[in-house]
């Protein structure tokens, strides 16, 4: 593991423990070059996932590697300024990733991922759910928000 401070290649693990959501291992490391300490998070990856997106060459499907950070970023944006613990957001994203990895398919559509996020946010926070839906369903007018929000009931917060 490369040191983020001096770039030295070798570091020594000083402590390892699971994260709160249990989906990663937190490691405290010390650089053998400059003695700086830093933390890394290692996630177990069950399989390589490829995301199929529409709009590829000649209307076909475009393939991209699945990126957990991209999923986390989009969920975090929907949850911005909402009373939602980061731990709950991480747990939602980890749960979606685990479901995708264990479903038996190496390829998944972006539509399926969007549906899974919608389902997760629906039970987490109604405002985050509507925010995500507005991008995912491509709302273009205020009326789109009104119609969608009219069908959303208040969900639990945490």
Q: Name the token pair of 34.
A: 């400059």
pLDDT at position 156 is 44
Sequence length of the chain is 158
What pLDDT, on the 0 to 100 scale, is given for residue 16?
A: 93
- Per-residue confidence (pLDDT) for residue 56, from 0 to 100: 59
Q: What is the pLDDT of residues 37-49, one digit of tens each?
A: 999 988 777 678 9
Alpha-carbon span 97 to 45, nearest angstrom: 9
Domain regions of the chain by residue span = 11-43, 50-150
What are the φ and ψ backbone dihedral angles of 141, each rounded to 5 degrees? -135, 160
With a cut of 70, list the residues of the chain below it in pLDDT.
Answer: 46, 56-59, 153-158
Residues 91, 121: Cα–Cα separation, whole Å: 12
Question: Alpha-carbon distance 133 to 121, whole Å?
Answer: 10
């Amino acid at each position: 593991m490369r040191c983020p401070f001096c770039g030295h290649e070798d570091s020594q693990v000083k402590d390892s423990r699971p994260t709160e959501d249990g989906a990663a291992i937190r490691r405290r490391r010390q650089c053998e070059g400059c003695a700086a300490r830093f933390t890394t998070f290692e996630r177990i990856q069950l399989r390589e996932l490829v995301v199929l997106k529409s709009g590829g060459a000649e209307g076909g499907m475009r393939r991209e590697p699945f990126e957990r950070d991209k999923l986390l970023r989009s969920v975090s944006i929907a949850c911005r300024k909402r009373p939602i613990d980061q731990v709950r957001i991480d747990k939602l994203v980890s749960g979606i990733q685990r479901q995708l990895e264990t479903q038996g398919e190496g390829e998944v559509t972006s539509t399926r991922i969007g549906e899974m996020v919608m389902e997760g946010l629906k039970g987490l926070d109604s405002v985050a759910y509507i925010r995500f839906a507005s991008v995912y369903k491509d709302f273009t007018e205020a009326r789109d928000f009104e119609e969608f929000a009219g069908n959303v009931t208040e969900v639990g917060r945490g």
